[in-house]
Chain A
């Protein structure tokens, strides 16, 4: 297990501090956490945290904001071409968890991450790994649509341009069109690609952000409550889109809506006060939860 203090500047983010020798091994089967049964009635994660073909694996991940521990010993696999939904009450650490997966927590002052997180067996907190390349492979869509104050075209072309994926205008045109088509936005904006991205409606802006994320061809897309600022129609459109994107990408989505988790995901992870309480097939979680806390949550007793 390595311990990596979250660096405060980009320079140290790239180089990091020298890691202690790594002895952690990532098993393919579930491991047992040695936590004692605490007063919240939680001992260890219920259900199988592993999948056969994992894209990303996390083991014993702890995140601290200063002295406060936000998530505790979370271990979870995220499989290829699957949608994993993280549910749980506010403040349970699900957003913190997915922000670890592309090291977005690095930008937060005083945030510290321990444990192991791998992408295709490669440790993403390895000091030799460039966080810029990691983020090109693990894209992210945020809760609030955040298009850049640029044209729609430039919003989508931004990622490919900074990563040198395109060299000519024609290539850029192609990538922009393909990304917008995949995000289901092309037909709505193809006549006004030069107008500002901030002038679109909320749902269109969020789809633009998704197009922007997939333009750099990531392996994994993280979505942090992507529909919480949208109306039901835009939400339905995004959910459809997530289902289509599953063919090519691995998706981890945080949501407050259990219906949404049930609609879009194959596996669901239930977080509670920083603990990963239960993981399982989405059907099983919602029809036959095995942990009392999960059952209380999905039956609406709290949260």
Chain B
């Protein structure tokens, strides 16, 4: 039986086990005086039986599938003629690959000799045996599990508690998946970054004022030696994020105040989804908008009033990024403002405060820490945003404070460094990982500050 078939059969068995366990509990219940005499509900007994059926079998299946190739390979190598086994490790792995290719019917890198044919046949044979054994073992365990579960259905078995413990561990495993993935990403970026810092000193990377990652690929090539100062990139990132927040913070906050305090339920029920549509627009579409509409408009307007504006200005990219962040800011602020208790509003009204006094002096101060938390989250999104700046901000790593100049951001540079065919041991490519690591550290710090602020806020009025 193939593994997918086996999984389907296992699922069917599980459903059957649930049904059996549940039926069994009814039978047991009638014998000892009704459902009330049982410790748990019939569905709990059913679930328990299904778990006994599926979990041990699934674990065996998983372990088997994980180790099967290694074991088979080991056995095949062991059966190869002595002169093959004497080959160096890389050559040997080539031979193994050929054997595997022959088994799966792919093109083989050289003419197979009889020894390899024998090995391939052996391999195929072992695979067949393994599949058959796997089916037998897994199904035996599953059926054994069903019978254990079946026998456990009794008034004294605490099926509910057992089911809930299993559910708890299932939830724990689910939540650790995200944590370990993050850890994996950080580690992979970290190791590449360490390799980069082996070539470029960390002080030059952190404090250098020049960014020009072009390095000579061959020794005889005429080319720059590369300069890896991250300052211009971070300056560009911060400037664009700053412009974005200049747009997003007031507009988002004001629209949140309107939605939370002034809008009638009808207006709110229309305006809020509309605002959230803005959040659903893919950033690449914002990118078009920035590059094709806003940037030329900014340039033409600037030229009309006699300003020198480059066609890929930080202003245009930042402005569009700000538009993108408006729904983010307004939706977070709206939640926070709505969380301010009505009793505070009543208290202010009862003292004769007008609505705007009430909002300015009572609601906003109470909501401020939460609003700041939301804004910091928006900043970390602005810093990490890629698509808009790739399309609208340009590639020139200028160290400038003029928002009308072209600047580039960390994310844009990471994209350009890794797009296309790259060798993964040059300083140029590795620089992308160092930039990614630094970016990660910056946004992580911002998120920690934001979460801290939000948490502090929760203690305020309860």
Contacts and interface: CB of A to CB of B under 8 A. Distances in A.
Contacts of A107: 345-346, 349
A133 B354 CA distance: 10
Given A158-B361, A198-B460, A142 B262 contact: no
- For chain B, the bracket of interface size reads 20 to 34
Interface in A145-183: 146-150, 158-159, 162-163
Contacts of B349: 104, 107, 135
Contacts of A109: 265
Contact of A198 (B353, B355, B362, B461): B461
Contacts of B265: 109
Instruction: Name the prevailing secondary structure of the B interface residues.
Output: helix
Contact of B352 (A8, A9, A148, A162): A162
Given A8-B264, A162-B361, A198-B461, A148 B353 contact: no
B337 interface: no
B343 A144 contact: yes
Contacts of A150: 365
A134 B349 CA distance: 11
A194 B351 CA distance: 21
A140 interface: yes
B459 to A, nearest CB: 10
Interface stretch (A53-61, A209-217, A251-259, A265-273): A209-217
A142 B353 contact: no
A162 B265 CA distance: 29
Contact of B350 (A8, A198, A213): A213
B354 A10 contact: yes
Contacts of A163: 352
A159 B347 CA distance: 10
Interface in A81-117: 102, 104, 107, 109
Contact of A148 (B262, B347, B355): B347
A141 B347 CA distance: 8
A59 B88 CA distance: 105
B273 interface: no
Contacts of A144: 343
A162 B351 contact: yes
Contact of A133 (B352, B356, B362): B352
Contacts of B240: none
Contacts of B343: 142, 144, 146
A136 interface: yes
Interface string B439-462: 000000000000000000000110
Contact of B354 (A8, A132, A212): A132
A139 interface: yes
Nearest to A10: B355
B346 A132 contact: no
Given A142-B343, A146-B346, A148-B348, A162 B461 contact: no
A193 B264 CA distance: 38
A254 to B, nearest CB: 14
Interface in A229-264: none
B351 A136 contact: yes
A134 B350 CA distance: 9
A135 B460 contact: no
A99 B49 CA distance: 60
A9 B357 CA distance: 14
Nearest to B457: A149
A136 B351 CA distance: 6
A159 B352 contact: yes
Contacts of B357: 162
23 contacts: A9-B264, A102-B350, A109-B265, A132-B354, A135-B350, A140-B346, A140-B350, A142-B347, A144-B343, A148-B344, A148-B347, A148-B348, A149-B365, A149-B460, A149-B461, A158-B351, A159-B352, A162-B352, A162-B357, A163-B352, A198-B460, A213-B350, A216-B352
Interface of A: 8-10, 102, 104, 107, 109, 132-136, 139-142, 144, 146-150, 158-159, 162-163, 198, 209, 212-213, 216
Nearest first, the 6 closest Cβ-Cβ pairs linking A and B are A140-B350, A136-B352, A135-B352, A146-B343, A10-B355, A159-B351
Given A8-B264, A149-B365, A198-B460, 12 more contacts: A9-B264, A9-B355, A102-B350, A135-B350, A142-B346, A144-B343, A146-B346, A146-B347, A148-B344, A148-B366, A162-B352, A213-B350
